[in-house]
Structure 1
Amino acid sequence: MTTARELIAGLAGTFTELPVAGGEPDDPIGWPGYPAARAAAAERTGETESVVVGEARVGDVPAVLIAWEFGFLGGSVGQQTGDRIEAAFTRARDRNLPVVSLLATGGSRMQHGMRALSQLQRIARASAAARADGVAQLSVLRNPTTGGGWATLGAGSDVTLGMPLAQVGFAGSRVRPATSPSAAYTAEAKLEWGQLDSLVEPDELNEVVTRWLQLLTSRSTEPAPPPNALRAASLPETGWDAVQAARASTRPRAAEYLDAYFDWREGVQGDRAGGVDAGVLCGFGWRDGRALAYAAQCGTATRPAGFRTAARLVRTASRLGIPVLTLVDTPGAANDAEAEQAGVGPAIAELFEAMAAATVPITSLVIGEGGSGGALAFAAPEATWMTPDAYFSVTSPEAAAAILKRPLRDVPEIAEGLRVRPQDLVGLGLARGIVRP
């Protein structure tokens, strides 16, 4: 396994270790044989604790690094581990530097009893204080990342990356149920279940972390400009023409807009509660020398995990001072039984609240279907734009016909009456304008 020092050397151009407080090695409950085990770990690894902390320069961005040394008592968290992590966050707050946590830990140090477990509260408190001060936090989950390390800095960061095949889980291999499949305790499983943003290969770690730090530390106050339309299209003559244009299979989709808009981008995914909606793309991208966050619907019915992921993205961007771009394109929120059980209503409410509470400018562009509240949750009040081949409606014309108990043959007439065309939305003051190629 790569040591903490080797990992730091491969990641940072410069590194200055924070001074370590003096004092004897801690042995709070007098565990038999612990002093000898600790001395052996120090001799074997050359370290005096399970973490190495210090200031570094990663690419062009100064940062604070917290690197776990698994060879030192399994990377376990003890009293002095907490001391060092708290000092790292204090330095990050004092100098407004992002924190990168490179985890490899088996959890709390058994030989410290409850003193070890209580360090998780210290770590959470230090992390929360830094978050309140606008300090960006990025974690990298190495093999293994279990116990309190995963349940504090690992899972609690703004962006969480995982090494392929890393063991990741709250329960370590020696304490989990024997009947539990080992595949559930992997970085791959956590990615599938929306608890990681992406996997990163070891030889790509420097590049990926460098890009993320550049994105997460780029504050600005100017709103994101709306993207240009990706194809020339005439304005629709009727409401039904607008609906058909938005539903056309040849219409550009969110991924095409994002690729055309950004120089490069990095994605986040998942609602951190077991769900991923592939129909929502979220992340941060680089454009014209600054970072912008994005949350984009991809033309499918948006599921609860999609709304929660977008809310997480907006809250993070707001805290870090990064303007947001949203792309609206959905026939509506998912309304099947599974979506109801997963809390589609509360999820939409969560996104509405995040958008309303954001302290950064949000720009929205409707690029296709704007179906009811599932679309409106992604739209910025007073800063929404339309493409010529898009519509926005209180509900779909078909659903309106059902609600009004009218036959399907009346759908085109209903679409006209709902005033869903881009020019209608501008005329009603609900859209600021119509973008062109």
Structure 2
Amino acid sequence: MMSTKPLEFEQPIAELEAEIQKLQAKSSSQDIDMSEQIASMEEKLRQTRDEIYNNLTPWQRVQIARHTNRPFMLDYVVHGFEDFCELHGDRHIGDDHSMPGGFARLGDQRVVVLGHQKGRDTKENLKRNFGSAHPEGYRKSLRLMKIAERFGLPVITLIDTPGAFPGIGAEERNIAEAIAFNLREMALLKVPILACVLGEGGSGGALGIGVADRVLMMENAYYSVISPEGCAAILWKHRKHAPEAAEAMKIAAPDLGKLGLIDEVVLEPKGGAHHDHVQSAENLKVSLLKQLKEIQALSTEEMIQQRYDKYRKYGEWQGE
């Protein structure tokens, strides 16, 4: 049964679940055998779920990626990693709570894990700045990556942001430079880097921790230079055209996989990761360990060269 608030396109599923609950309650309270009717409704529910979730549009995937009950970065750390020890501060300005990170263990492998963290209520969202990192967040993330390099530990970045924070303070502290510096340094880092887009992968805010040997995406995440609403406002002059923008930009994980811009789509439980945090984290853990094993088979020189070649190929066009 759906335990979270249904999205608009999930209403047929929610209505069938409500009908089944009514039948079960009636059968129990009045001691009537309604097993045949319940079984019929459950089969209809299964078919409806398959029809909806097997044919999700890019815009529907964006809605799932933004679901407030979706697991965030620290949820994946809790369920997929062990012995997490958070480190704080960028040693310049302060500590950015929207970009936590530290030492952890993934299976038998010691790693450094970092990423964007959103909040589920007003208080936590204010603390986490809605997952939009400041310059000190990116500088902290690079400091942690350099620590990882010093100790020979793989780096895992978990991306989930609508974009870097665009405020005046962030501009004054040079957020563009902080992100650009990360891009260069991550391209040259001498340890394996794995990145996974958990939900939203928005613009340079995502790319600031997204240069990696392998880029993964959760099945219902999106990765884009601009939000569908932003694109719609520019091209169609109205945000109501966001669904068309999402389709045109090919921002969903299945499309990006076909285009060769990501390396693996990590499957989610039916209906989205918010229905089962533990299973989602386990799926990601399996994928990360598989990809990490492949990268660790390379020499440092081969790894860095492949990372460089990977990004040089982006944007290549082959005519017929």
Q: TM-score, normalised by structure 2?
A: 0.61
Match in the other structure for 2:173: 342
Larger RCO: Structure 1 or Structure 2 (Cα < 8 Å, ≥ 6 residues apart)? 2
Q: Secondary structure at the match of 1:280?
A: coil
How far apart in 1 are the matches of 2:73 and 2:65?
13
1:243 to 42, 62, 67: 62
Matches within 5 A, 1:89-104: none
1:404 to 227, 235, 238: 235
Q: Aligned-pair distance for 1:312?
A: 0.8
Q: What is the count of residue pairs matched by the alignment?
A: 205
- Structure in which a larger fraction of residues adopt helix: 2
1:346 partner amino acid: E
Q: Secondary structure at the match of 2:198?
A: strand
Matches within 5 A, 1:122-161: none
Match in the other structure for 2:8: none
Aligned residues of 1:280 and 1:295 also touching (Cα < 8 A): yes
- Structure in which a larger fraction of residues adopt strand: 1
Aligned residues of 1:314 and 1:354 also touching (Cα < 8 A): no
Q: Aligned-pair distance for 1:288?
A: 2.8
Is the aligned partner of 1:279 residue 2:279? no
Q: TM-score, normalised by structure 1?
A: 0.45
1:261–1:236: structure 2 CA closer, same or farther, 3 Å change rule? Answer: farther
How far apart in 2 are the matches of 1:400 and 1:415?
8
1:331 to 144, 162, 167: 162
Is the aligned partner of 1:391 residue 2:210? no
Q: Aligned-pair distance for 1:406?
A: 2.0
5+ residue gaps, structure 2: 1-51, 119-130, 268-282, 284-320
How far apart in 2 are the matches of 1:379 and 1:392?
11
Q: Secondary structure at the match of 1:384?
A: strand
How far apart in 2 are the matches of 1:382 and 1:285?
19
Kindly provide the CA deviation profile for residues 173-220 of structure 1, in whole angstroms up to 9, marking residues without a partner as x.
Answer: xxxxxxxxxxxxxxxxxxxxxxxxxxxxxxxxxxxxxxxxxxxxxxxx
2:108 partner amino acid: G
Is the aligned partner of 1:352 residue 2:183? yes
Aligned residues of 1:284 and 1:294 also touching (Cα < 8 A): yes
Matches within 5 A, 1:1-400: 234=53, 237-299=56-118, 300-400=131-231
Q: Aligned-pair distance for 1:371?
A: 0.3
Kindly provide the CA deviation profile for residues 23-69 of structure 1, in whole angstroms up to 9, marking residues without a partner as x.
Answer: xxxxxxxxxxxxxxxxxxxxxxxxxxxxxxxxxxxxxxxxxxxxxxx
Q: Secondary structure at the match of 1:295?
A: strand
Q: Secondary structure at the match of 1:271?
A: coil
Kindly provide the CA deviation profile for residues 95-117 of structure 1, in whole angstroms up to 9, marking residues without a partner as x.
Answer: xxxxxxxxxxxxxxxxxxxxxxx
Match in the other structure for 2:27: none
- CA RMSD across the alignment: 1.7
Kindly provide the CA deviation profile for residues 284-303 of structure 1, in whole angstroms up to 9, marking residues without a partner as x.
Answer: 11233331011111141121
Q: Aligned-pair distance for 1:322?
A: 0.6
2:248 to 398, 417, 435: 417
Bigger radius of gyration: 1
1:268–1:369: structure 2 CA closer, same or farther, 3 Å change rule? Answer: same
1:271 partner amino acid: D
Kindly provide the CA deviation profile for residues 309-346 of structure 1, in whole angstroms up to 9, marking residues without a partner as x.
Answer: 11111122112211011001000011111111111111
How far apart in 1 are the matches of 2:260 and 2:212?
11
2:246 partner amino acid: A
How far apart in 2 are the matches of 1:414 and 1:357?
34
Q: Aligned-pair distance for 1:275?
A: 2.2
2:257 partner amino acid: V
1:341–1:400: structure 2 CA closer, same or farther, 3 Å change rule? Answer: same
How far apart in 2 are the matches of 1:236 and 1:338?
43
2:233 partner amino acid: A
How far apart in 1 are the matches of 2:182 and 2:161?
15
How far apart in 2 are the matches of 1:312 and 1:234?
40
How far apart in 2 are the matches of 1:409 and 1:357?
42
How far apart in 2 are the matches of 1:250 and 1:344?
29
